[in-house]
Amino acid sequence: MSKLTLRIELGPHCMLGHGKVRLLEMIGETGSIAAAGRALGMSYRRAWQLVDSLNHGFSKPLVATQLGGPGGGGAQLSPFGREVIAEFRAMEKDAKHAVAKHLARLEREVAPVPTGPLPDSGDEEED
């Protein structure tokens, strides 16, 4: 089964793709950048860098943070952050629909996965 991946370059410092959108969704679910990063197998530092790049790449922040401390910190999606997720998911859906027939044609031409030993490339010398 093939997979279409959408990556949008909105400007030189503003890029949006599946990974960043998934991080935003996980922040919405967990209320935490650290927990969202862990759930996606990334370090807190990497998750924070991605959130920071998104917050600076758009005219409005996508994620609002609260400082940690005795009561704990946290993060939540801004209303604009929820809009960005919805727009990206709508674009993904539209893109999949737009390329479906072309993708099906290419899928029919994909070679089967070999089950035995790989064929000799002819690069090795024989004894």
In tens, the pLDDT along 23-35 reads 999 999 999 999 9
Q: What is the pTM of this model?
A: 0.81
Within a domain: 66: yes
pLDDT at 120 over 60: yes
Task: Confirm whether 124 is domain-assigned.
Answer: no
CA distances to 12, 18, 26, 79, 117 from 9, rounded to whole Å, are 7, 12, 22, 22, 42
Kindly report the CATH number assigned to the domain that includes residue 94.
1.10.10.10
**Domain that residue 103 falls in:** 9-108
Q: How many domains does the chain have?
A: 1
For residue range 50-89, list pLDDT tens digits in order.
999 999 999 999 999 877 666 667 899 999 999 999 999 9
Identify the band that residue 106 occupies on the pLDDT scale cut at 50, 70 and 90.
very high
Is 91 inside a domain boundary? yes
Region 89-108: mean pLDDT is: 95
Dist CA 125 CA 87 (whole Å): 56
